[in-house]
Structure 1
Amino acid sequence: MGFFLETLIGGLMTGMLYSLVALGFVLIFKASGVFNFAQGAMVLFAALAMARLAQWLPQWLGFDNAFVANTLAFAGAGAIMFGVAWLVERLVLRHLVNQEGATLLMATLGIAYLLDGIGQSIFGNDIYKIDVGMPKEPVILFEKTFEGGILVNKEDLVAACIAAALVLALSLFFQKTSTGRALRAVADDHQAAQSIGIPLERIWVVVWCVAGVVALVAGMIWGSKLGVQFSLSTVALRALPVVILGGLTSVPGAIVGGLIIGVGEKVSEVYLGHFVGGGIEIWFAYVLALLFLLVRPQGLFGEKIIDRV
């Protein structure tokens, strides 16, 4: 029982990190109605910016304090992501208002390749480290309850708490603020939203700024765990089954979908891996998402589209 709970807790913490990445997809889709293929590139770009600024700022400003360096680097990377959001709206989205979804989709693909290229040109393409002081050593819990206790990675626990706090804040933002309601209106119909006075340009800047902050937090956490390298952009691919499972228009769906995928990967790897061979953790989520599409294509919390004729 103790080993099962250890696997379950590990899956839940990993699932929260998947939810964090999936939120970026949900945010952009809710505002523009298009799937944002640039989300992985945004995670990599934000992580590169923070990692390199944490190295450069102490040299430029002449101090040697890791906490101050990381704080300033996070703020600087956040400002950079805000600048990216403004440029995306000004140079791309503003010219594609009321265009077909496929057009916007291709635009996000172009943004992804552009961010990948510019990020590595400015910040370099080596493997960089982000060290924000999260504890690396594991801790053993419930030793008196279960034989041998339950081994929990402190870094995963802290990361999951950060992700949960950000997810909660975004959920409240969408449900309780006028800007959040305006985002949903824009996603439903661009022209109708404009006709009632919702400034489309400002809404898109806001949502891309928020998605940029989400990408920065995700990049910081995953960069701390895996190192900042080009493969970090593929983390977004791990979140695709999450948005399929939870629904492209639902913030709670991103949370629940992430938890289901995280737990499913860990449990299947531990308990089914010896039956089907190693590596089940890599493809399990995609098979689960494929099967789910056959039953409920809109996802657990997605809006079911009904065409009346």
Structure 2
Amino acid sequence: MSFFLETLAGGLLAGVMYALVAIGFVLIYKASGVFNFAQGAMVLCAALTFVTLTERDVPFWLAGLITLAIMVTLAVAVERIVLRPLVNRSQITLFMATLGLSYIIEGGSQFVMGASVHELDLGISDLPVAIGPIQLSSFDLVAAASAGALVIALWLFFERTRVGVSLRAVADDPQAALSIGIRLPLLWATVWAVAGFVALVAGLLWGARQGVQFSLTFVVLKALPVLIIGGFTSITGAVVGGLIVGAADALAEIYLGPLLGGSVSTWFAYGLAVAFLLVRPAGLFGERAIERV
């Protein structure tokens, strides 16, 4: 029983970090209806920038501030220069724009800072910690607690502040929001800046966990089932979806993998997402589209 609980708890902790990546998508999609495929490249860019600065003896806190400034500037520039001129274009046009951006950001980051694997040390130990009958990684606990605190802060910010109210108004009816004086460009810039900050935190946590390397961009692929299950427009849905994916992945790998003769963690979450699409296409907390005919 303790082994099952350890597996479940480890999966839930990983799920919080998946949710952190998914929230970057939710913020931008909810504000502008754009699925930002470049979020994974932004995660890589943030981690690579930070580790490059620290390797050049820049103090930890200063490297964090410089990286934050770069990520916020990059996010706002992407919104202003690339996506704002494409407003009212088709969804596929916007998606292709962010897909192209992901390769540009990824390639540019590796061109400037190199493509070799870097070890990122955040000063968090990775020793086993006993919690009742189970053993958990201290790094996973700290990373999940940090990600969880940021998720709660973002939820409060967008649910309890004026920006959050404006965001929900824009999501419901952009034209009506404009008519009552909501400044869409400022709102979009704010959301993209927050998404850049989320990319920084996600990049540091994932980079410390698996090294700063090209594969960090693939974290975005793990966020897709989270979004499908939780819903593309809900921070709460991203959290719940992340926990479901993390726990299901961990348990399936241990209990289904041996029965199926190999690793299932690479595809099980996507199978779960397809099942949700068949039953509840909008996700657990997503807003169902209403079409009038």
TM-score normalized by the length of structure 2: 0.96
Alignment match of 1:81 (pick from 71, 77, 94): 71
Alignment match of 2:92 (pick from 78, 102, 109): 102
- Correspondence for 2:110: 120
Alpha-carbon separation, structure 2, partners of 1:206 and 1:104: 19
- 1:97 and 1:190 in contact (8 A); partners too: no
- 1:46 and 1:216 in contact (8 A); partners too: yes
> Which structure has the bigger radius of gyration?
1
List per-residue Cα deviations over 1:156-197 (Å, max 9, x = no partner): 010000010000001111110111121222233433322222
Alpha-carbon separation, structure 1, partners of 2:2 and 2:288: 40
- Correspondence for 2:135: 151
Alpha-carbon separation, structure 2, partners of 1:38 and 1:27: 13
- Correspondence for 1:52: 52
Residue type of the alignment partner of 1:297: P
Residue type of the alignment partner of 1:108: T
Residue type of the alignment partner of 2:14: T
Alpha-carbon separation, structure 2, partners of 1:111 and 1:170: 25
Alpha-carbon separation, structure 2, partners of 1:140 and 1:284: 29
List per-residue Cα deviations over 1:94-131 (Å, max 9, x = no partner): 21222222222122112211111111111111111211
Measured after TM superposition, the shift of residue 56 of structure 1 is 2.1
Aligned pairs for 1:1-309 within 5 A = 1-58=1-58, 69-142=59-132, 149-309=133-293
Change (3 A) 1:125 1:91: same
Which region of structure 1 is more displaced relative to structure 2, 44-53 or 91-100?
91-100
Alpha-carbon separation, structure 1, partners of 2:159 and 2:266: 34
Alpha-carbon separation, structure 1, partners of 2:94 and 2:146: 31
Measured after TM superposition, the shift of residue 50 of structure 1 is 0.8
RMSD (CA atoms): 1.3
Measured after TM superposition, the shift of residue 57 of structure 1 is 4.2
- 1:20 and 1:214 in contact (8 A); partners too: yes
Alpha-carbon separation, structure 1, partners of 2:240 and 2:7: 18
Measured after TM superposition, the shift of residue 150 of structure 1 is 1.2
Percent of residue pairs bearing the same amino acid type? 57
Alpha-carbon separation, structure 2, partners of 1:111 and 1:103: 12
List per-residue Cα deviations over 1:196-249 (Å, max 9, x = no partner): 221121111111111111111010001001110011100110111000000000
Which region of structure 1 is more displaced relative to structure 2, 159-168 or 192-201?
192-201
Alpha-carbon separation, structure 1, partners of 2:82 and 2:191: 14
What stretches of structure 2 of length at least 5 have no aligned partner? Answer: none
SS at match of 1:152: strand
SS at match of 2:165: helix
SS at match of 2:265: helix
Change (3 A) 1:118 1:199: same
Alpha-carbon separation, structure 1, partners of 2:238 and 2:5: 23
Which region of structure 1 is more displaced relative to structure 2, 89-98 or 254-263?
89-98
